[in-house]
Amino acid sequence: MLKLGGKVIRIEVAGGATEVPKGDRTLVVISTNPRLPRSLRERSAYLVRAGVTEIPSGFGHYLQIGEAAKIDFGELENWQRVTSLSDDFSYLEDGDIIRLNSARGEIRVLYRKSSPHNTIMVTEQCQHYCLMCSQPPKEVDDSWLLDEANELIRIMPRGTGELGFSGGEPTLFGERFLETLRLTKALHPGTSIHILSNGRLFADRRFAADYAQIRHPDMMVGIPIYSDDPATHDYVVQAKGAFDETLRGILNLKEFGQKVECKRPAVPPGSREVSVL
């Protein structure tokens, strides 16, 4: 399994500065192109593998993977940062997008250009508390994740085939989430969108209508339903009235001509029942 996040080995600053600048989270696009136009370099991290000798100047970041890759700091300007990563991240390639958190010494891989299944988690908040949830909801203000999603969408390579949005419950951001969908459509008109949602916010007809107004030609909401018995569904998601609200959400979406994928995840192991409505 690919390791998508963790600690970096070390962060160094060219010019002998002893302290790594404390920055917030930074998104960078990985580049292996030494001839990348100057205007794009500041937002990019140049990836140095073992054997690479040419170190172009002007990149916002430099990454070296594995102990064998050694950047000659003499080639860099004094403020530039070099982040060393373990071999676990040797799969990274040109066009991938990562988040670097220099204050915490952490990396998170957010987008892989070669993957057909990139999904952006926009929040850890959710109004369910499902029995089997792998990342139980947190009541925290994590709206920075949605800001980061917007930033990611702006720098994501054109031609991405499919993009998913998940949580938590992405629709909890309401209009702000719809704005993210509009942005995705504007910048990546050919990209299919899949939204994993519990569907409850769509019970609000106004919200469902605004969603439909985006008029995306290839956008679908995936909604899990755990049972046709309302009490069982509500028990699984630990939320009274959830079944009714989810069903009203689905009916609204269908009334407005939207694509909905209904999932019943708790079926015999290894299989997955899906109906596209």
Q: Which residues bind ligand SF4 (CB under 6 A)?
A: 126, 128-130, 133, 137, 167-169, 198, 237
Comparison of 59 and 177: residue with beta carbon closer to ligand SF4: 177
- Rounded Cα gap, residues 27 and 42, in angstroms: 11
Please give the full DSSP string across the chain, using - where no structure is assigned.
----EEE-SEEEETTS-SS-----EEEEEEE--TT--HHHHTTEEEEE-TT-----S--SEEEEESTT----GGGS-TT-EEEEE-GGGTT--TT-EEEEETTTTEEEEEE-TT-S-EEEE--S--S---TT-SS----S--THHHHHHHHHHHHSPTT--EEEEESS-GGGGTHHHHHHHHHHHHH-TT-EEEEE---GGGGSHHHHHHHHHT--TTEEEEEE---SSHHHHHHHHT-TTHHHHHHHHHHHHHHTT-EEEEEE-SSSTT--EEEE-
Please report how close the Cβ of residue 202 comes to ligand SF4 at its closest, in angstroms.
14
Please report how close the Cβ of residue 153 comes to ligand SF4 at its closest, in angstroms.
21
Please report how close the Cβ of residue 170 comes to ligand SF4 at its closest, in angstroms.
10
- Rounded Cα gap, residues 149 and 258, in angstroms: 23
Please report how close the Cβ of residue 248 comes to ligand SF4 at its closest, in angstroms.
17
Comparison of 97 and 130: residue with beta carbon closer to ligand SF4: 130
Please report how close the Cβ of residue 236 comes to ligand SF4 at its closest, in angstroms.
9
Q: How many other β-carbons are positioned within 10 Å of the β-carbon of residue 25?
A: 16
Comparison of 152 and 236: residue with beta carbon closer to ligand SF4: 236
Please report how close the Cβ of residue 240 comes to ligand SF4 at its closest, in angstroms.
14
Comparison of 219 and 242: residue with beta carbon closer to ligand SF4: 242
Dihedral (CA of 240, 244, 247, 248) sign = negative
Please report how close the Cβ of residue 127 comes to ligand SF4 at its closest, in angstroms.
8
Comparison of 191 and 198: residue with beta carbon closer to ligand SF4: 198
Comparison of 120 and 156: residue with beta carbon closer to ligand SF4: 120
Comparison of 167 and 249: residue with beta carbon closer to ligand SF4: 167
Comparison of 188 and 194: residue with beta carbon closer to ligand SF4: 194
- Rounded Cα gap, residues 250 and 261, in angstroms: 9
Please report how close the Cβ of residue 134 comes to ligand SF4 at its closest, in angstroms.
7
